[in-house]
Amino acid sequence: MANKGVNFDRIRVNHEVPLQLLDKSFIFNDYDFILPHLLDEHEEYRQYAFKSKELSRYMVMDNSLHELGEAYDRDRLKYWVEKLTPKEFVVPDVWENKDATLANSYHYKVEKPFPSTTKMIAVVQGKSYEEAKDCYQQLRMQGYIKICFSYGATFYKNIFPHENEHVSRMMGRVFTIFKLYEEGVIEDHHSIHLLGCQLPQEFTFYKHFRPVESIDTSNPIMAALNGNRYEAYGLLTKPTPNLNNNFEQEINPTTLDLVRQNVILFRVLNGMQHYTEIQKFNNIIK
């Protein structure tokens, strides 16, 4: 039987995986991050989600904005939340549109459409640091306890200009979060989730930062599908494959070995666990 999650550190980590690795994800993921549109598209994915529920694993359901370009169908979101009763649900947001995102988050708070055991969490959106700041503050005023920051906001590049756009976006999110903290907008008792990443080494900046509670990123998996092994420092480019477009990709032994190595190195380079303490990963993905 799969275990209920591996505790590497205080920050919970999830790496979304393609179809062929769903059973392995129970072993190396601390919790399960569910993409609702895949529940309607794949029987195996539905079985995976219900298995997660059966095992009483910590489950977070996304709204599939990143994969689809817009949040998934509202009725289907409600249907799957009621069926799976995840611990957390990311209410629909609108990419880089603060006002539309706040309108959605307000609607969900007022309507309260989900089981009381499911905590609704929201995403900061905006076209500038000022908009992101205002969005965060308003989400807190609406009653959201846990708030997410996406990895790819365009304004991140303005905050940390760099010749390498991937470095620029990575550091832009870091600077945004810590500037909000320095200004007293984010406080120690707040709870933050980080959606995805531009580069995997970003998370070392949050190792001792109390508000960051959880992250999800398919980066080590997508890098492996791209044929890339993490360097000791991480990566300097973002993997090109998109999980949604490669969900049914067949995984050969070489790719499996890259997945294993990248999953280990992700935690090592971010200081989440020493390499010698996670050698069991050498045998779990075969």
Q: Higher-confidence residue: 128 or 242?
A: 128
pLDDT band at 286 (very low <50, low <70, confident <90, very high): low
What are φ and ψ of residue 121, in 5° steps?
-125, 155
Residue 104 lies in a domain: yes
Q: CATH code at 37?
A: 3.20.20.105
> Residue type at 133?
K
Q: Which two tokens stand for residue 106?
A: 């307000």
Q: The whole model's pTM is what?
A: 0.93
Percent of the chain with pLDDT over 90: 85
The mean pLDDT of 170-181, rounded to a whole number, is 98
Task: Report the percent of the chain where pLDDT is more than 70.
Answer: 92
pLDDT at 5 > cutoff 50: no
In a domain? residue 277: no
Assigned domain for 235 exists: no
**160 vs 277, which has greater pLDDT?**
160
pLDDT of 244 = 86
Q: Would 264 be classed as within a structural domain? A: no
Mean pLDDT across 120-143: 98
Distance CA 168, CA 189 (A): 28
The verdict on residue 237 lying in a domain is no
Structure confidence by residue, pLDDT tens digits, 44-66: 999 999 999 999 999 999 999 99
Q: How far apart are CA 59 and CA 16, in angstroms?
A: 12
Three-state secondary-structure class, residue 201: helix
Is residue 6 a part of any domain in this protein? no
Going by pLDDT thresholds of 50, 70 and 90, the confidence category of residue 4 is very low
For all residues of the chain together, what is the average pLDDT? 92
Q: Number of folded domains in the chain?
A: 1
Domain with 198, as residue range(s), is: 12-218
> 204-248: per-residue pLDDT in tens?
999 889 999 999 999 999 999 999 999 999 999 999 878 888 999
Q: Please tell me the least confidently modeled range out of 35-44, 252-261, 270-279.
A: 270-279
Overall average pLDDT of the 161-186 stretch: 98
Q: How far is CA 49 from the centre of its chain?
A: 16
- Residue 7 predicted with pLDDT over 50: no
Instruction: Please give the Cα distance from 70 to 92 (Å, whole number).
Output: 8
Q: Is 112 left (phi over 0), alpha (psi -120 to 50) or beta?
A: left
Using the predicted structure, report yes or no on whether residue 1 has a pLDDT greater than 80: no
Residue 279 pLDDT: 54
Identify whether 252 is part of a domain: no
Asked if pLDDT for residue 6 goes beyond 50, the answer is no
Q: Encode pLDDT of 257-268 as tens digits.
A: 999 999 999 999
Q: Is 52 a member of any domain?
A: yes
